[in-house]
Each structure stands twice: as structure tokens, then as C-alpha cells.
Chains A and B, each alone.
Chain A
Amino acid sequence: MPMTEYKRKRDACRIKVLDKYEIIGFISSGTYGRVYKARSRDSNDPREFAIKKFKPDREGDSHHYVGISQSACREIALCRELRQENIVGLEEVLLEDKAIYMVFEYAEHDFLQIIHHHLHTERKPIPEVVVKSFLWQLLNGVAYLHANWVLHRDLKPANVLLTKEGVVKTGDLGLARLFNRPLQPLFNGDKVVVTIWYRAPELLLGSRHYTKAVDMWAVGCIFGELLALKPIFKGEEAKMDSKKNVPFQKSQLTKIFETLGTPTKERWPAIEQLPDYSHLSSFVQYPNQLKSVYQLMPGAKSEAGFNLLSALLEYDIEKRISADDALNHPYFQEDPKPVMNVLTQQGIEYPLRRVTSDDIDIKSAKPGQPSKDDSGRPAKKARN
């Protein structure tokens, strides 16, 4: 039987996305495709879902169609292996008309949206018990990823989702990578990942080794941002030049040094081996100001909290705290203790994720427009 016969037969019995799910809104879009909010058509299943539709590589040009995109491949491969309460769960994957649909559990909020809500609407810091519960669960998810040899590589507030009960769900594993394979380098040519404000100093100084410590630095930045309600190291990203030379990120490093002090060989012995070590002499010698910066953060109260923040924002990757050790840090043992469903417990209701209903034709082949971003922040998710 020729392939075309099979195609007809097979397509006839394939489950269609729209037969199974009702699209109730459009959430966001990015270079990868679009994300929709959906619910099951099964009336016994009250759950909501986020359906990520990958646009095929070189969409609209069927002559040059080269199959499902590599990033979709990678994300599906990883998500299929991972199942944990603090990681966004993958319900199923569907294929239809050359497009891939990843069906995820739905999370009502994300950290970025909540930080904005506290900054602009409530104009009050996030309560300590909420920050602590968020951070503990974020660490719990990261510890699970690391135990399974997965590096997230793009941790930032917009990628840390949250259910309306307050359960943290780390998402967007589009850049995540297995690191137990000695056969391939994790650093690929000019592809430096991790959004710049959350990028670890060793990467900014030219290290090509992505390690667990890179994720831990980002967790430290997110912790600081939950307390301060703004990014703690908000540098300007130097763009790649026309020859695709990787630029030196002077502004970002300056922001870090201003707070943590300019690193020295004594404080960070391996710094001498980093490719861009020579640039270090061009920096002013700043003292370590983290303590006073911490005390000025509106949500920061506890001494143990400061100790954990400085352990996460440690220059020397040998000394930077691991996710497992961070979970056992004294900060989490002192009152208020972290809880999983902190929003329900505290009676907090944040505004629901904004979804639009004017563009919910999931089948249209229209390429996704990158979302408009009012703050110039390199975020992919729409927010309220």
C-alpha cells in the first residue's frame, strides 16, 4: 500500500486537537509559536490546559518544510521524562497538519505578573511567607531537574508559573538540556542562553560550561527580585555585532559588581582561568554592598534570608549553594515556614491571567507575532 493510502487511513483515526479541547483564549506568542488556554471537551474533566502550538520550521513554505522543529523535539523529549509537582506537567502531545501541540497543565499566574501586581497595583512588598513558599518550591523543582541531569538554563520570573492555590510550576523547558552526556558540549557556538539579567558571572566572563550553578545564580536573582520587586541586576545587553562576535557584557557585570563587589582572585580563585578575565582590570573596585542592598529591599526581613541570598549569589561556582542544600537552609526552618498552597492558605487572590478571545483560531497558519513588551524586558509571556 502506498504512503498516501496510509496517510488517509491514519489521519482519519487520529485524534484532532479541537475534538478533544475547546480553545477559550489566546495567552501569548513567541518565536516558537503560540500558547492558548483550553479546556477539555470531556465534561467530567474540569481541568484547564495551556496548549503550546509550535509553528513548523519555515512555516507557510511547504516546499522547504523540514519536519518538526528541533526545539520542539528537545522540549518534548525532556518533558516526557519529567514529572514533579513543581514542574509544569505535560499532559500529552498531538500532531496535526504538520504542527505540534504540547498540552500542559494550566497555571494561572507567573512570578513576573505577581511582582508587577505588587509593585504597581498593591504597592506593597510580597508577604514574607509568600516569598519563602515561592522560593522553596522553585528550589524544589530545580533540585528535581538537577537530580535528573537536566539544566533549565533560562530561569527567570516569567518562566516560573504558579497555580491559583500558590503551587509553583517551573515551565518553559525550551532551552533545557541534559548534562549527563559527555559526547556533546553544552555550549554551541554563538548560542549563549539565559536572559541577561539572570545570567551567571562565569558565563558573562566567557565560560563555556553550563553547570547547575548557572541555574542557582538565576534562582538567587529571582529571590532578590521577589523581595525588591524589581530585577536586582538590570544591565543593558550588548548586542552581537554583524560578524556574530559574542560581545563582552560590561554593563551587566558592572551591575553585579556594584552590589556584590568586584571579584578578586582570593574571593573567586577560578576567575583567572575564565576567557574574559583580562577585562576585569577595566572595572572600578566596588566593595560588597549586598548586605545594605538587602536591607533596603522592601520585603527583606530575615538574617537567614540574607545568608541564603548571598549563598546563591556566590561568585565561586565551587562554593555556590546547590538546590538540595538550599532546601535545607535555616531560612526555611525559621517562621514563617513555607507552605505549598500559600495563596489559598493566606486567602490571597491575584488577578487572573489575561487571555484574549479575539484570536483563538488555533488552526490558522498565521505566524505568531512576538508579544509587545512595555518595559523592554526580554520576556516571552504576556502578562497582566
Chain B
Amino acid sequence: MDQWLFDKEDFSDTPSVRDGIATSQEQHDRAKGCSFIIAVGAKLSLPQVVLATATTFFHRFYMRNSMKDYHIYDIGATCLFLSTKVEENTRKLRDIVNACAQKAQKNEKLHLSEDSKDFQKWRNTILYGEGIVLEAMCFDMSILHPHTCLIQFSSEIDVPKQTIRKAWAFLAHSLFLPLCLLYRPECIAAGALLLADQYLSEEVSADAWQRIGVDLEEAHEQTLQQQS
């Protein structure tokens, strides 16, 4: 687990940055890759947990590999494919290929026949990428998500349903950001809850935070990161 937590400074020394890509460009392309994963996932009606796992794989992958070597859509598609298996929400590879092609080419009507060149290219990319992604991730595939922590919190402390819903929405939006590389999932969940609470101006008592063992300082810092 610890090998997947980084400092913010590490973002200025990633494989992509070493390959000459600007830090800001890399962060932009990370968001673009995640956005691709989320769009393909929506097309396939995949639940949030599959998307969260796929984007986590994606962010981890580019801490070890360069965007110059591996295209973000190729890796995004592979991460999503792998995530459907890990999270037991499998889809037919054919459907994943078609959803990827539609989103990549921004053509909702596109349908690739199975013996077309494009279909085979996507399919082979995903299947070959699977091994590369697995090895880069050292086969660490069990991911604890802030979503799960949020549900846990909501059963342990008294928070209005509305705040939980808002926090969940913040978590859904946070998938674009590499938060999973910077903070523990409990902390991200707490940050989302804090942000939701501020947003809705509902009070969550101070001792409630202590009960769930969250470092408020860290959560605050994290909230700022989400807002920016």
C-alpha cells in the first residue's frame, strides 16, 4: 500500500516528466485519461466502484511509465477492462472495444465489426496492455476506495443523508485527480465529507471527527486540493 502513496513533489519527477512532458501537461492528460475511462464506463453502465478502481490503476501506472511510451487511451481502456474483472462486473470484451472506439473517436454511432482492423487493434492493445499494467502495478489489485470509507463513516457518525450524497458526488468528481496517489482513502472520504458539510453549511460536531479517527489537518489540506 505504502509504495502507492507519493508526495506532491513526486509529480515533478514522473517518468513522463523525465521524458520531457511538462508537469501541467501530464496532470491534464491524466484527467483526460480518467475522463475517457469514466465516459466508456458510463456507456457500459458500470458502477462507480469499477470506475474508481480503473482510475486508481491508471494513476498508479503513470507513476511507473511514461505517457510517451503508452497512450492514455490505450492504458485507460486496459485499466477499465482489468477493473471489470477485479470488481466482478465483467462486460464482453467486444462491448468494451466498441465503447472505447466510440468514445475515442467521439462517434456514438460507430460500430466496429469483429474482423475490422480497428476492432482487432483495440482488442490486441487491451489484451497486451493487461500484462503490462498488471506488472507495473505489481499485481496489487485490491483497492480500498474512499466511497467505501464514506459509507462506513455514515454508519458510525450522525451525518445528514444529504451531506453523504453531496460527499459521494465530490468523490465521483475527484476520480479525475490523482488523489489516490496522495492520500489514504479514509482521508479522501473525510475531505469529501468536510467539503460537503461546508457546502451545505451543516454542522458536524468536532468529536464526531475524532471518533472516526481522522486527522482534521490532513483532511483540510486535502479539501483545498479538491477545490483547486
A interface residues with partner B (beta carbon < 8 Å): 1, 3, 6-7, 10, 65-68, 70, 73-74, 76-78, 80-81, 93, 95, 178, 180-184, 188
Question: How far, in Å, is B144 (CB) from chain A's closest CB?
Answer: 8
Contact of B128 among A3, A93, A178 (CB under 8 A): A3
Question: How far, in Å, is A177 (CB) from chain B's closest CB?
Answer: 9
Query: Can you report 24 residue pairs joining A to B where beta carbons are below 8 Å apart?
Result: A1-B69, A6-B69, A6-B132, A7-B128, A67-B85, A67-B127, A68-B85, A68-B130, A70-B85, A70-B88, A73-B86, A73-B141, A76-B141, A77-B142, A80-B139, A81-B140, A93-B139, A95-B131, A178-B142, A181-B148, A183-B47, A183-B49, A184-B88, A184-B89
Whether, in the assembled complex, B110 has its beta carbon less than 8 Å from a beta carbon of chain A, the answer is: no
Known: A67-B130, A70-B85, A70-B88. 5 other contacts (CB 8 A): A65-B127, A68-B85, A73-B86, A80-B142, A183-B148
Q: Are A3 and B125 in contact (CB under 8 A)?
A: yes
Main secondary structure of the interface of B (DSSP, over half): helix
Chain A residue at minimum C-beta to C-beta distance from B132: A10
Q: Are A95 and B151 in contact (CB under 8 A)?
A: no
With A10-B132, A178-B142 already in contact, the answer to whether A74 and B93 are too (CB < 8 A) is no
Residues of the B chain whose Cβ atoms lie less than 8 Å from the Cβ of A67: 81-82, 85, 93, 126-127, 130
Q: Pick the most buried of A78, A178, A181: most chain B CB atoms within 10 A of its CB.
A: A181
Residues of the A chain whose Cβ atoms lie less than 8 Å from the Cβ of B25: none
Contact of A70 among B47, B90, B126, B138 (CB under 8 A): B90
Question: How far, in Å, is A210 (CB) from chain B's closest CB?
Answer: 14
Chain A residue at minimum C-beta to C-beta distance from B68: A1
Residues of the A chain whose Cβ atoms lie less than 8 Å from the Cβ of B125: 3
Residues of the A chain whose Cβ atoms lie less than 8 Å from the Cβ of B140: 77, 80-81
Residues of the A chain whose Cβ atoms lie less than 8 Å from the Cβ of B138: 80
Chain B residue at minimum C-beta to C-beta distance from A184: B88
A78 CA / B126 CA spacing, docked (Å)? 23
Residues of the A chain whose Cβ atoms lie less than 8 Å from the Cβ of B88: 70, 74, 184, 188
Contact of B86 among A65, A77, A183 (CB under 8 A): A77
Question: How far, in Å, is B88 (CB) from chain A's closest CB?
Answer: 6
Per-residue CB contact flags for chain B residues 78-97 toward chain A (1 = under 8 Å, else 0) read: 00011001111110010000
Q: Are A3 and B124 in contact (CB under 8 A)?
A: yes
Residues of the B chain whose Cβ atoms lie less than 8 Å from the Cβ of A182: 148, 151
Whether, in the assembled complex, B135 has its beta carbon less than 8 Å from a beta carbon of chain A, the answer is: yes
Q: Are B93 and A76 in contact (CB under 8 A)?
A: no
Whether, in the assembled complex, B134 has its beta carbon less than 8 Å from a beta carbon of chain A, the answer is: yes
Residues of the B chain whose Cβ atoms lie less than 8 Å from the Cβ of A6: 69, 132
Residues of the A chain whose Cβ atoms lie less than 8 Å from the Cβ of B131: 68, 95
A66 CA / B81 CA spacing, docked (Å)? 10
Question: How far, in Å, is B115 (CB) from chain A's closest CB?
Answer: 10
Chain A residue at minimum C-beta to C-beta distance from B126: A67
Chain A residue at minimum C-beta to C-beta distance from B135: A95
Chain B residue at minimum C-beta to C-beta distance from A96: B131
Q: Are A73 and B142 in contact (CB under 8 A)?
A: no
A81 CA / B1 CA spacing, docked (Å)? 9
Question: How far, in Å, is A17 (CB) from chain B's closest CB?
Answer: 14
Residues of the B chain whose Cβ atoms lie less than 8 Å from the Cβ of A181: 49, 148
Question: How far, in Å, is A144 (CB) from chain B's closest CB?
Answer: 15
Contact of A95 among B86, B89, B126, B134 (CB under 8 A): B134
Question: How far, in Å, is A222 (CB) from chain B's closest CB?
Answer: 27
A188 CA / B88 CA spacing, docked (Å)? 10
